[in-house]
Amino acid sequence: MTGSNVPSPLMPQSPSNMNLPSPAKTKSQSLAVRKSISRTSEPEQKRKPALAPEYDMAELFNEQTRSKYVKGLLLFLVLSLANTKVNVGEKLGSGTYADVFKGTLRSDPSKIFAIKKFKIDPNQLRDGINVDTIREIKYLQEISHPTIVALYDIFSSKDEQINMVIEFCPNGSLEDLLRDKAVQYGAAEIKAWMSMLCRAVYYCHSHFILHRDIKPGNLLIAANGEVKLADFGLARYFAEPGSPMTTNVVTLWYRSPELLFGSQHYGGCVDIWSCGVVMADLIMRRPFLPSIFDDKEITTGGEIAQIETICTALGTPNEDVWPGVSKLRGWFAPSKQLPPRDRIWFRQQFATVGPSGADLIANMLKFDPRKRATARSALEHEYWAAEPRPVPVDRLPKKGGGAKNAAAEQTKVPGELNERFKGVAKKLDFSAFK
């Protein structure tokens, strides 16, 4: 409606109040590393191939961009009597993937943001750049939405490492919040959070982008209590029909059955499954599908354990509820043969959010990805019109672990589980929680 103060679900988020380049402006530029890391004078034929066109990004590594910002390593350049009360340059988190600093705009120290400094992994380089880094920069440049963490700028530090200037989320993540028993919330708060998540996923899918790592730890809480989808290190475009994609994506506890059974052809349904698990987590205030295993073969053992966990909770998939499942390349007959759960079970298990909320979870957790809810159908579900109404953003709980916990998630390799949960699926980044 014209003149309404209620933002559209697809209204772009403008960073103009921070006097920073907007993601829309950044999108028109591409990122190109001025110097490839560890480049030698080896023969041309032995060098790594150049980046594919999809990775061709603009030159933003320049002194003008870099000089606008302040972080801990350059703290001495900005500290003065006028701004000693501003916590400039604090190192919020450190891990194997990145370091995260608290920073300010040099021209206006009251404007706070986060600086994510990526670390170099020689085993994951593509022409001198970590592939996950390329993905995260690429997709954050191309999207702008109130429920997605904003990318404001990119620059290189003097050690030639890539730095992202991103939105500062000082209240941790939903993972921290749901685990903090001192924080009280109910059905109305869950509806508000899930509305933000579903809008973010719909926006991504409408721009043909799969997130592929939705989990509570990647849902950061902004200063006003709004939830922001973050960490696009595993994101990619929807594949062309028939084109295979990797299955080793999505943190294990939030990974859909088709990925666990080795399907290389999938779409937005993998993100929707993750959304369903997140909603269940919020209701239960603990992980809904936490697989526990002890196996040196981490990937295989973890996937088998996760399938068994899903079967225990939701029943065992079969040809009746999921035609073609037995033809998937990773199919095996789970040891637990239980009938798939019906809607009565979902309504009993998730009574907190009422019958319509339980039905939405059931739709998002359908075994057959072809029958699973889409981002659009999830937003059109009757759950949103049912009572209770979602809590306004300014009344949502804001204590969610603080900026350091939010930063800790950003320092981890995409797809990793939080070490605070037992029975993890992949090698953990213990340094992120020092």
Look up residue 54 and give its two tokens: 């999809």
Residues 216-270 pLDDT 10s = 999 999 999 999 999 999 999 999 888 999 999 999 999 999 999 999 999 999 9
b (16+ CB within 10 A) / e for 41-51:
eeeeeeeeeeb
Q: Residues 204-211: what's their mean pLDDT?
A: 97
Q: Name the most confidently modeled range: 69-73, 82-86, 271-275.
A: 271-275
Place of tokens 């926006």: 203
Please give the Cα distance from 273 to 87 (Å, whole number).
Answer: 39
The larger pLDDT score, comparing residue 293 to residue 212, is at 212
DSSP per-residue letters across 270-322: HHHHHHHHHHHHHHHTS-SS------SSHHHHHHHHHHHHHHHHH----TTTS
149-196 pLDDT, tens digit each: 999 888 776 666 788 889 999 998 999 998 888 999 999 999 999 999
What's the whole-number mean pLDDT along residues 347-357? 98
Residues 156/159/161/164 CA torsion (nearest 10 deg) = -40
Give me the pLDDT at residue 273, please.
Answer: 99
Q: Is the pLDDT of residue 356 over 70?
A: yes
Q: If you average pLDDT over residues 3-15, what whole number do you get?
A: 36
What percentage of the chain carries pLDDT values higher than 70?
66
pLDDT at 202: 98
pTM: 0.75
Lowest-pLDDT choice from 177-181, 275-279, 281-285: 177-181
**How far is residue 218's CA from residue 416's CA, in Å, rounded to a whole number?**
11
- Within 8 A by CB and 6+ apart from 189, the residues are 390, 391, 396, 397
Distance CA 172, CA 178 (A): 11
What is the CB neighbour count within 10 angstroms for residue 196? 24
Q: How far apart are CA 415 and CA 132, in angstroms?
A: 11
Return phi, psi of residue 370, to 5°: -75, -25
Which residue, among 158, 135, 166, has the nearest Cα to 20 in the 3D structure? 166
Q: Which fold has domain 174-410?
A: Transferase(Phosphotransferase); domain 1 (1.10.510)
Question: Which range is most confident: 41-50, 124-133, 378-387?
Answer: 378-387
Q: Summarize the confidence of residues 32-59 as an average pLDDT.
A: 34
More confident position, 30 or 149: 149
In the predicted model, is pLDDT for residue 401 greater than 80? no
Q: Which residues of the chain form CATH 1.10.510.10?
A: 174-410
Q: What 3-state class would DSSP assign to 161?
A: coil
Q: Which of 56-60, 169-173, 295-299, 430-434 has the lowest mean pLDDT?
A: 430-434
Q: How many whole angstroms separate alpha carbon 30 and alpha carbon 352?
A: 46
Does residue 322 surpass a pLDDT of 80? Answer: yes
Pairwise CA distance, residues 62 & 328, whole Å? 49
Number of H helices, E strands in the chain: 12, 12
d(Cα 276, Cα 256) in Å, to the nearest integer? 10
User: What pLDDT is stored for residue 167 in this prediction?
Assistant: 92
Q: Which residues are catalytic?
A: 213
Mean pLDDT of 40-47: 35
pLDDT reported for residue 260:
96
Q: Is the pLDDT of residue 44 over 90?
A: no
DSSP 416: P
The distance from CA 141 to its chain's CA centroid, rounded to whole angstroms, is 15
The CA-atom distances, in angstroms, between 271 and each of 203, 236, 266, 318, 393 are 12, 12, 10, 22, 24
What is the overall mean pLDDT for the chain?
76
Of residues 386 and 90, which shows the higher confidence score? 386
pLDDT of amino acid 109:
78
At residue 352, the 3 state secondary structure works out as helix
Whether the predicted pLDDT of 320 surpasses 90: yes
The whole-angstrom distance between residue 4's C-alpha and the CA centroid of its chain comes to 30
Q: What is the structure's pLDDT at 93?
A: 77
| pLDDT confidence bin for 119, thresholds 50/70/90 | confident
* pLDDT in the model for residue 326: 95
Q: Which residue has the higher pLDDT, 178 or 108?
A: 178
Task: Give the length of the chain.
Answer: 434
Q: Quote the DSSP letter at residue 98.
A: E
Choice among 99-113, 124-138, 318-332 with the minimum mean pLDDT? 124-138
pLDDT the model gives residue 402? 56
254 contact partners, CB below 8 Å, separation of at least 6: 213, 214, 215, 273, 274, 277, 278, 289
Name the one residue in this structure whose structure tokens are 């990526």.
118
What is the CATH architecture assignment of 16-168?
Answer: 2-Layer Sandwich (3.30)
Residue intervals in the chain for CATH 3.30.200.20: 16-168
Q: Residue 430: pLDDT band by 50, 70, 90 thresholds?
A: very low
> Residue 314 has what pLDDT?
98
Per-residue pLDDT at 292: 78
pLDDT category at 32 given cuts 50, 70, 90 is: very low
